[in-house]
């Protein structure tokens, strides 16, 4: 007896293989069978005729650390677009291990009131005790470790400070963290050296962890920044993920041809890949230095002036008879969306065989980038159906099987008997990201149903079950869940 059979759909299994028409049977959170199950008994049957049945999407680049602990009514930004698993703690920023009331930028992208966890184990335990809408695998942020263990962030760590951070990371890996993330671009870690990162991450290899890197520069000095990141990955001897690979600034448009060639060359000698999002605008803390690189800047939040969220920095500067940089300084601390990328580069990067998909959405912005709600349907609707940059099977592989393999998420990302029953049913002819810069929280169309660990979690964009997710603890942890 199956708990549920999804019948009559076209299965795209997450390996990149061609679709097949088949039924899928689930029981006790696992996929039990795929094939003709028309005569099999089941407690429930769900029709997927005329629909695609795929593995639940894996969002490999999120800042959902606090969102995971926040009850969400109605639509959920991840479930509503078919995401069943997220990787949190990216860009050097993780909610633990740190207790503070005043997190420095960019740690404040996670808000200011959730920094209560003295250890990573305490944070993972809190996740397990919460109602999780999706599965989660957690990274430890290098910047978070620096803030906890260093009084002066404007210099490299001393050997003793590096050792303290390394010990904290080792403890987190033992508790179930899957790796370390860096954000060398941002103020809290800008002074860190490659040698510091290698010293802090010394236990990653033994624990089976990975390193994900928001590199030091994504503009004029991107070549040097990539070389540094690849050097760190080689020294650590672990899988290395380049975060949200992109080129910013008009002078750098088109250079993805060069950077992708660098990554291809590096991949011949080390384990490296990258994630990206399907938009030509980025979003992070509001930095005056980024203004000149961008054709426009939209404010996503501002602590001193909350009312400017959603406004163009150009318009604000014109109204105030100030430069955009002066306005940016006056609005801080704040967040922004930067229009500084080339659509040709976005398409080229997204199409590359090494590319995975990650939203990099900021859930606590007043007016977030639309990628928070629309990343995965945008890939399927805009880049597959409309632009035809690659096949549907390739797109799903980038969002499921490839991601699960690179991040070590065993039993997920592929539809196969014995694997966890994370499944999405969608209409390939109708799936569309409705979130826009003007209306960034609109729910996507065409996502019919989402199952998390075999339980129906979302139907037609609305959440119906908000506690089917699990904490996916890393290889270094003995007490694994998920």
d(CA 435, CA 451): 22
Task: Give, rounded to a whole angstrom, the gap between the first and last alpha carbons of the chain.
Answer: 23
Mean predicted confidence (pLDDT) in 15-26: 98
Instruction: Give the tens place of pLDDT for each residue, 229-267.
Output: 999 999 999 999 999 999 999 999 999 999 999 999 999
Residue 152, φ and ψ in degrees, nearest 5: -120, 105
117 located within any domain: yes
- Tell me: do 117 and 249 sit in the same domain: yes
Question: Could you report the per-residue pLDDT of 39-69, keeping only the tens digit for each?
Answer: 999 999 999 999 999 999 999 999 999 999 9
Do residues 93 and 42 both lie within one domain? Answer: no
Q: Residue 481 pLDDT > 70, yes or no? A: no
pTM: 0.97
134 and 237 belong to one structural domain: yes
Residue 21 and residue 122 in one domain: no
Query: Both 236 and 378 in a single domain?
Result: yes
| 2-11, 14-23, 195-204, 471-480: segment of lowest average pLDDT | 471-480
- Chain centroid to Cα 292, Å, comes to 27
Task: Tell me: do 152 and 191 sit in the same domain.
Answer: yes
Q: Phi and psi for 356 in degrees, rounded to 5? A: -105, 170
Phi, psi of 115 (to 5 degrees): -90, 75
The answer to whether position 274 is within a domain reads yes
Instruction: Tell me the two tokens of residue 204.
Output: 């990653």
Q: Strands 116-117, 334-339: parallel, antiparallel or unpaired by DSSP?
A: unpaired
Same domain for 350 and 264, yes or no, is: yes
Residue with tokens 């393999």: 405
Question: What is the rounded CA–CA span in Å between residue 454 and residue 422?
Answer: 6
Range of the domain at 303: 288-337
The answer on 161 and 62 residing in a single domain is yes
Query: Is residue 154 in a domain?
Result: yes
Q: How far apart are CA 289 and CA 277, in angstroms?
A: 23
Predicted local confidence at residue 444, as pLDDT = 98
pLDDT at 71: 80
What pLDDT does 476 receive?
A: 80
For the stretch 345-359, pLDDT in tens is 999 999 999 999 999
24 by DSSP, 3-state: which? Answer: strand
- Please tell me the predicted confidence (pLDDT) of residue 482: 55
Same domain as 187, residue 146: yes
Q: Are residues 84 and 190 in the same domain?
A: yes
What percent of the chain shows pLDDT beyond 70? Answer: 99
> Token pair for residue 334?
């704040």
Alpha helices in 39-157 (DSSP H): 120-129, 142-149
CATH number for the domain spanning 156: value is 3.20.20.140
* 436 part of a folded domain: no
In a domain, 438, yes or no: no
CA distance 246 to 255: 9
Name the band, by pLDDT with cuts 50, 70 and 90, for residue 394: very high
Conformational region of residue 40, where left means phi above 0, alpha means psi within -120 to 50, and beta covers everything else: beta
In a domain, residue 466? The reply is no
Find the CATH number of the domain harbouring 7. 2.30.40.10
Residue 481 inside a domain? The answer is no
Q: How do residues 420-447 score in pLDDT, each as one tens digit? A: 999 999 999 999 999 999 999 999 999 9
Indicate if 25 and 89 belong to the same structural domain.
no
Give tens-digit pLDDT for 98-131. Answer: 999 999 999 999 999 999 999 999 999 999 999 9
376-407 burial code (b ≥16 CB/10 A, e <16): bbbbbbbbbbeeebbebbbbbbbbbbbbbbbb
User: Which pLDDT score is estimated for 475?
Assistant: 87
Looking at every residue in the chain, the average pLDDT score rounds to: 97
Give yes or no: residues 76 and 123 share one domain: yes
Residues 399 and 252: their CA atoms lie apart, in Å, by 27
For residue 482, being part of any structural domain is answered with no
Distance CA 329, CA 327 (A): 5
CA distance 7 to 195: 54
* Residue 329 belongs to domain with CATH number: 3.30.1490.130
Nearest 5°: the CA angle 100, 106, 110 is 60
Query: Structurally, how many domains does the chain consist of?
Result: 3
């Amino acid at each position: 007896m199956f708990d549920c059979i999804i019948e009559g759909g076209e299965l795209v299994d997450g390996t990149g293989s061609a679709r097949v028409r088949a039924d899928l049977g689930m029981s006790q959170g696992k996929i039990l069978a795929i094939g003709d199950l028309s005569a099999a008994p089941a407690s429930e049957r769900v029709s997927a005729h005329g629909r695609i049945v795929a593995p639940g999407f894996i969002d490999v680049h999120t800042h959902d650390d606090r969102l995971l602990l926040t009850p969400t009514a109605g639509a959920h930004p991840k479930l509503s677009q078919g995401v069943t698993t997220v990787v949190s703690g990216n860009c050097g920023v993780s909610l633990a291990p740190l207790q503070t009331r005043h997190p420095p930028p960019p740690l404040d992208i996670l808000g200011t009131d959730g920094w209560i966890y003295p250890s990573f184990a305490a944070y993972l335990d809190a996740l397990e005790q919460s109602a999780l809408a999706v599965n989660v695998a957690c990274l430890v942020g290098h910047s978070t470790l620096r803030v906890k263990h260093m009084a002066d962030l404007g210099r490299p760590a001393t050997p003793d400070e590096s050792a303290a951070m390394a010990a904290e990371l080792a403890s987190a890996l033992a508790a179930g963290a899957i790796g370390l993330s860096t954000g060398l671009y941002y103020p809290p870690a800008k002074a860190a050296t490659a040698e510091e990162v290698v010293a802090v991450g010394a236990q990653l290899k033994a624990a089976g962890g990975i390193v994900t890197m928001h590199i030091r520069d994504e503009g004029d000095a991107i070549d040097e920044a990539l070389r540094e990141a690849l050097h760190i990955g080689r020294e650590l001897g672990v899988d290395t993920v380049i975060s949200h690979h992109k080129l910013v600034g008009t002078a750098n448009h088109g250079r993805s041809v060069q950077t992708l060639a660098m990554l291809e060359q590096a991949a011949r000698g080390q384990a490296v890949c990258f994630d990206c999002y399907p938009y030509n605008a980025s979003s992070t803390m509001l930095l005056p230095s980024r203004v000149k690189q961008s054709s426009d800047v939209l404010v996503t939040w501002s602590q001193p002036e909350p009312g400017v969220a959603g406004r163009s920095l150009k318009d604000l500067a014109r109204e105030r008879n100030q430069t955009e940089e002066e306005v940016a300084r006056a609005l801080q601390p704040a967040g922004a969306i930067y229009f500084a990328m080339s659509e040709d580069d976005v398409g080229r990067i997204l199409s590359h065989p090494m590319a995975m998909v990650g939203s990099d959405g900021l859930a606590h912005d007043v007016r977030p980038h639309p990628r928070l709600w629309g990343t995965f349907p945008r890939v399927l609707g805009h880049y597959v159906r409309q632009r035809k940059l690659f096949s549907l099977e390739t797109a799903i592989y980038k969002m499921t099987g490839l991601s699960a393999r690179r991040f070590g998420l065993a039993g997920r990302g592929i539809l196969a008997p014995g694997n966890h029953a994370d499944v999405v049913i969608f209409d390939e002819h109708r799936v569309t990201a409705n979130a826009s810069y003007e209306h960034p929280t609109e729910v996507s169309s065409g996502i019919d149903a989402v199952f998390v660990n075999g339980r129906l979690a979302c139907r037609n964009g609305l959440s119906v079950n908000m506690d089917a997710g699990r904490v996916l603890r890393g290889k270094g942890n003995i007490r694994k869940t998920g």
